[in-house]
């Protein structure tokens, strides 16, 4: 997105993909039941339009609200989450679609007809990336509710049979030394060539001791051994937070798994149940499940700095494989494969140390709390990061539903450790050093 042409193409593609998510669901499906981890899709569409309007059309051009009187409805930090389901609060689909289409058309006209300043370039990217975040949340909404896979999904996502267990690849040994973390603090000023959110800034170097990290994500087969060892019934194997989560959920296995009458296991992807594939990565596990598995295996979760060093190397690559943009043979992104490939897949996307699938497939839990870097400054959107600092865990790497234009090695995601509705997985480190 480094030129006006790039921005227009990205806007058109984002708009088309968003509409496809809606148009592939009927009105009854759009009227989703209340769930703590999702939003009503119609509200998400109106919120996206409001974001464009509030940060671009109104401050830069003095435009009046496109839907007068509804700012408090579309602003996610004004309307309470539960209120978004109350009858009569959110406008109907037709009114919201009209508002969204008018707003996107106005933004497109503005990009096409004006000189592109660095500040405006940055704002456009911010708005587009914000919409991609909501595209991802609309996708995990479909998974949560058991709706059909998005129209972008590959056909074999619906029908792929279970494969054999993936052969273990062991650990990558990461040498001790200094590694770059994060992005430059002035990234707004090079918006024509790059982008970073405020929680990725300012970048710095950190000295790490040698450590070893798994080359692959934890697979279904590996995690099944934890389940069949009945570790969900062994509270002493879990941390205090994990035991609290167990009591609250009464979980006995990952979300969207079920044991069949013959004793085998199945997993649900969207509206389809299939035999559990032991070679595929485990998905939809909470931080507490990842932590407990690591303890049981005599290992630990990486810190976010260890994760980033393993992904970037000492030279500070933008992506694990280098600086070229993601492609389908490098990473599972863009809502196509949905983590149906083995954990040993995508060898061309390996990091400098041979770690696979560090971008895409699954958001990877780290042991780190989501905190600001030293020198942190609030960006144009004050709530992008600040409300998550302190009580969220850091997840890294994006997932199968993340847009390839959004993700990079420095990107930090914040999730409550209880969450298992999003596409989360993990890899582990050896205990000790080296």
Q: So what's the pLDDT on residue 130?
A: 94
Q: Are residues 20 and 125 in the same domain?
A: yes
Q: Are residues 103 and 172 in the same domain?
A: no
Taking Cα atoms as reference points, which of 208, 403, 405 lies closest to residue 311? Answer: 208
**Residue 151 belongs to some domain of the structure:** no
Q: Are residues 378 and 311 in the same domain?
A: yes
Q: So what's the pLDDT on residue 416?
A: 97
**Residue 31 belongs to some domain of the structure:** yes
Q: Are residues 75 and 164 in the same domain?
A: no
Domain boundary among 145, 166, 198: 145
Let me know: does 169 contact 396? Beta carbons within 8 Å.
no
Q: Are residues 169 and 98 in the same domain?
A: no
**Strand runs labelled E in 332-372:** 363-369
Query: What burial class does residue 239 get, using C-beta atoms within 10 Å of its C-beta: 0-12 exposed, 13-18 middle, 19+ buried?
Result: middle
**Residue 251 belongs to some domain of the structure:** no
Q: How far apart are CA 221 and CA 43, in angstroms?
A: 38
Q: So what's the pLDDT on residue 158?
A: 43
pTM score above 0.85: yes
Domain boundary among 100, 115, 145: 145
Q: Are residues 22 and 47 in the same domain?
A: yes
Q: So what's the pLDDT on residue 294?
A: 98
Query: Looking at the chain, how many residues does it have?
Result: 434
Q: Are residues 125 and 167 in the same domain?
A: no
**Residue 233 belongs to some domain of the structure:** no
Q: Are residues 114 and 166 in the same domain?
A: no
Q: Are residues 208 and 135 in the same domain?
A: no
Cβ neighbours of residue 292 closer than 8 Å, sequence gap 6 or more? 226, 231, 237, 238, 239, 242
**Residue 252 belongs to some domain of the structure:** no
**Residue 255 belongs to some domain of the structure:** no
Distance (Å) of CA 360 to CA 13, 91, 125, 366, 401? 20, 35, 20, 15, 8
Cβ neighbours of residue 270 closer than 8 Å, sequence gap 6 or more? 142, 143, 146, 147, 148, 149, 153, 157, 158, 338
- Residue 357 belongs to domain with CATH number: 3.90.1580.10
Q: Are residues 49 and 165 in the same domain?
A: no
Query: What burial class does residue 329 get, using C-beta atoms within 10 Å of its C-beta: 0-12 exposed, 13-18 middle, 19+ buried?
Result: exposed
- For 105, the enclosing helix (H) or strand (E) is helix 93-113
Domain boundary among 145, 174, 190: 145
Q: So what's the pLDDT on residue 156?
A: 67
- Residue 131 belongs to domain with CATH number: 1.20.120
Query: What burial class does residue 339 get, using C-beta atoms within 10 Å of its C-beta: 0-12 exposed, 13-18 middle, 19+ buried?
Result: buried
Per the structure, the complete domain to which residue 171 belongs is given by: 156-219+284-430
**Other beta carbons within 10 Å of 272:** 15
Q: Are residues 99 and 191 in the same domain?
A: no
Ranges in the chain, pLDDT < 50 = 158-161
Q: How many domains does the chain have?
A: 2
Q: Are residues 81 and 160 in the same domain?
A: no
- For 204, the enclosing helix (H) or strand (E) is strand 204-208
**Residue 322 belongs to some domain of the structure:** yes
Bond preceding residue 92 cis, omega within 30 of 0: no
Q: So what's the pLDDT on residue 384?
A: 82
Query: What burial class does residue 415 get, using C-beta atoms within 10 Å of its C-beta: 0-12 exposed, 13-18 middle, 19+ buried?
Result: buried
């Amino acid at each position: 997105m480094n030129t006006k042409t790039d921005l227009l193409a990205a806007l058109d593609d984002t708009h088309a993909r968003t509409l496809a998510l809606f148009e592939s669901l009927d009105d009854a499906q759009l009227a989703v039941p209340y769930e703590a981890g999702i939003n009503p899709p119609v509200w998400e569409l109106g919120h996206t339009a409001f974001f464009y309007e509030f940060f671009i059309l109104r401050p830069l051009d003095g435009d009046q609200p496109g839907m007068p009187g509804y700012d408090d409805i579309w602003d996610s930090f004004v309307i309470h989450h539960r209120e978004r389901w109350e009858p009569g609060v959110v406008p109907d689909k037709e009114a919201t679609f009209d508002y969204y289409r008018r707003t996107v058309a106005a933004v497109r006209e503005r990009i096409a007809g004006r000189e592109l300043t660095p500040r405006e370039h940055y704002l456009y990217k911010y708005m587009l990336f914000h919409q991609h975040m909501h595209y991802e949340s609309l996708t995990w909404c479909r998974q949560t509710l058991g709706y059909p896979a998005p129209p972008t999904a590959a056909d074999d996502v619906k029908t792929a049979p279970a494969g054999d267990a993936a052969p273990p690849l062991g650990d990558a040994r990461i040498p001790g030394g200094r590694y770059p973390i994060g992005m430059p603090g002035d990234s707004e000023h090079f918006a024509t060539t790059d982008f970073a959110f405020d929680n990725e800034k300012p970048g710095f170097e950190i000295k790490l001791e040698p450590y070893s990290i798994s080359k692959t994500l934890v697979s279904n087969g590996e995690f099944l051994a934890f389940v069949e060892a009945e570790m969900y019934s062994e509270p002493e194997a879990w941390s205090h937070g994990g035991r609290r989560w167990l009591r609250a959920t009464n979980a006995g296995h990952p979300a969207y798994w079920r044991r069949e009458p013959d004793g085998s296991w199945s997993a649900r992807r969207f509206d389809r149940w299939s035999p559990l594939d032991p070679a595929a990565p485990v998905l939809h596990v909470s931080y507490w499940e990842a932590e407990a598995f690591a303890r049981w295996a005599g290992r630990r979760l990486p810190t976010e700095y260890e994760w980033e060093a393993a992904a970037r190397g000492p030279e500070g690559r933008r992506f694990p494989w280098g600086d070229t943009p993601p492609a389908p043979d490098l990473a599972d992104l863009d809502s196509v494969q949905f983590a149906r490939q083995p954990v040993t897949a995508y060898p061309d996307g390996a990091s400098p140390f041979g770690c696979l699938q560090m971008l895409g497939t699954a958001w990877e839990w780290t042991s780190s709390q989501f905190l600001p870097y030293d020198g942190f400054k609030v960006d144009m959107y004050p709530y992008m990061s600040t409300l998550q600092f302190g009580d969220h865990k850091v997840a890294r790497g994006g997932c199968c539903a993340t847009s390839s234009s959004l993700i990079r090695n420095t990107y930090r995601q914040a999730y409550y450790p209880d969450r298992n509705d999003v596409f989360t997985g993990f890899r582990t480190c050896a205990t000790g050093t080296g």
